[in-house]
């Protein structure tokens, strides 16, 4: 599953099934993350908002994730997270070695991304390479909870998305339908561009210790979308920035309303309205909707969640500043190291 799937999905929704006149695709996109988020609020398991983000990634595609791929992804996520925790716990006293290993892990993750286009596997690798060592420096106990609960939430997300595909099934598409001729970019050049854009920010985060671990990891995950796209020039990054701001502002408004009226049924209703409006925007072809949904879920989750509690305005400003950095970095690279087309085999 790639970002291209989510971009095609809005054009496919007209051919999906309906329920009382509502398209199955829209219902899946709105209800799946909402159900996981609300269940997390009620049951209070760790990092439930991450499960909501994962479910969004699963259901943005018009078809369910293949079972074999999902099982392989889940096993890989446990290996990445627990392995990262063990490794960085051992080398915690050696900051230079930690810094070098993080650099190597990020570079390898992006190389796998540009050659295989497997976004979800690379996202889990980046979570292990960035989130675990940064949290290990401040609180190994929190790092351990992250190492356990990130894969747990991936399992929950997959199971819930499977259930939603049963309740609101899609329509199988003919082989080769909706395929467009897209340019093929040189993988080595794209890998170099991503590394040059993101690694200085990683260095700044580790040297100054002024970057929140979730902000750094969120930015890394956003950058993965550029590699899977046929274009990641200034226009796409502008859309990503606007999508993050729009979703974050929605989350801040919702949070402030719940502070004024702290009534759980109201929170659940407001979340449903928010996810419904984002789903409607996606169905209408709004290119900002997928990024807005991710940003909305993350900012809401960090604001409501007890494990990584943070001021909602602060996390929004951090994400916006990080996206601004990436916009400037990619603009410079577009000027001096542009993408290079490669001949199709």
Measuring CA to CA, which residue among 306, 308, 276, 305 is closest to residue 289?
Answer: 276
Segment among 48-57, 67-76, 212-221, 301-310 with least mean pLDDT? 301-310
The reply to whether 92 falls in a domain is: yes
For 2-56, strand residue ranges (E) read 18-19, 22-23
What pLDDT was estimated at residue 308? 46
What pLDDT was estimated at residue 345? 46
The reply to whether 291 falls in a domain is: yes
For residue 12, pLDDT beyond 80: no
Better-predicted residue by pLDDT, 187 or 128: 128
Residue 175, φ and ψ in degrees, nearest 5: -60, 130
The reply to whether 283 falls in a domain is: yes
The reply to whether 177 falls in a domain is: no
Residue 265 binned pLDDT confidence (cut-offs 50, 70, 90): very high
The reply to whether 100 falls in a domain is: yes
Q: In terms of residue numbers, what domain contains 127?
A: 3-172+186-336
User: Distance between CA 73 and CA 94 in Å, rounded?
Assistant: 31
Number of domains in the chain: 1
What pLDDT was estimated at residue 85? 95
What pLDDT was estimated at residue 340? 76
Average pLDDT over residues 230-234: 56
DSSP code per residue over 176-212: TTT------B-HHHHHHHHHHHHHHHHHHHHHH--S-
The reply to whether 233 falls in a domain is: yes
Spell out the residues 6+ positions from residue 291 whose beta carbon is closer than 8 angstroms to its own: 222, 239, 240, 243, 244, 247
The reply to whether 197 falls in a domain is: yes
Is the overall model pTM greater than 0.85, yes or no? no
Better-predicted residue by pLDDT, 136 or 173: 136
Better-predicted residue by pLDDT, 163 or 287: 163
The reply to whether 282 falls in a domain is: yes
Angle at the Cα of 90 (from 85 to 96), degrees rounded to 5?
100
Average pLDDT over residues 7-20: 49
248-261 residue pLDDT tens:
889 888 988 888 88
Average pLDDT over residues 228-248: 71
CA 26 to chain centre: 19
159 within 8 A of 70, measured Cβ to Cβ: no
């Amino acid at each position: 599953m790639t970002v291209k799937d989510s971009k095609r999905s809005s054009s496919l929704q007209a051919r999906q099934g309906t329920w009382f006149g509502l398209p199955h695709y829209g219902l899946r996109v709105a209800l799946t993350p909402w159900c996981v988020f609300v269940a997390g609020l009620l049951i209070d398991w760790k990092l439930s908002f991450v499960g909501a983000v994962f479910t969004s990634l699963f259901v943005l595609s018009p078809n369910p994730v293949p079972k074999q791929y999902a099982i392989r992804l889940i096993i890989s996520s446990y290996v990445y997270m627990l392995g990262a925790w063990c490794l960085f716990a051992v080398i915690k006293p050696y900051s230079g070695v930690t810094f070098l290993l993080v650099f190597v892990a990020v570079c390898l993750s992006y190389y796998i991304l540009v050659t295989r286009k497997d976004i979800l596997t690379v996202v889990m690798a980046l979570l292990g390479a960035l989130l675990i060592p940064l949290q290990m420096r401040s609180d190994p106990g929190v790092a351990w909870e992250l190492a356990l609960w990130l894969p747990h939430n991936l399992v929950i997300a997959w199971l819930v998305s499977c259930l939603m595909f049963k309740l609101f099934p899609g329509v199988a598409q003919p082989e080769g339908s909706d395929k467009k001729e897209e340019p093929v970019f040189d993988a080595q050049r794209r890998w170099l561009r991503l590394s040059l854009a993101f690694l200085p920010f990683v260095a700044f985060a580790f040297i100054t210790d002024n970057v929140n671990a979730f902000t750094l990891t969120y930015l890394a995950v956003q950058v993965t979308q550029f590699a899977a796209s046929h274009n990641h020039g200034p226009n796409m990054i502008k859309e990503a920035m606007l999508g993050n701001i729009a979703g974050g502002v929605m989350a801040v408004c919702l949070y402030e309303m719940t502070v004024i009226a702290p009534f759980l049924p109201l929170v659940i209703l407001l979340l449903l309205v928010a996810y419904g409006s984002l789903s409607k925007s996606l169905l209408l072809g709004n290119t900002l909707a997928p990024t807005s949904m991710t940003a909305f879920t993350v900012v809401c989750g960090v604001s409501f969640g007890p494990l990584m509690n943070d001021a909602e305005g602060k996390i929004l400003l951090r994400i916006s500043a990080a996206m601004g950095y990436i916009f400037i970095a990619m603009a410079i690279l577009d000027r001096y190291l542009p993408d290079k087309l490669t001949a199709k085999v």
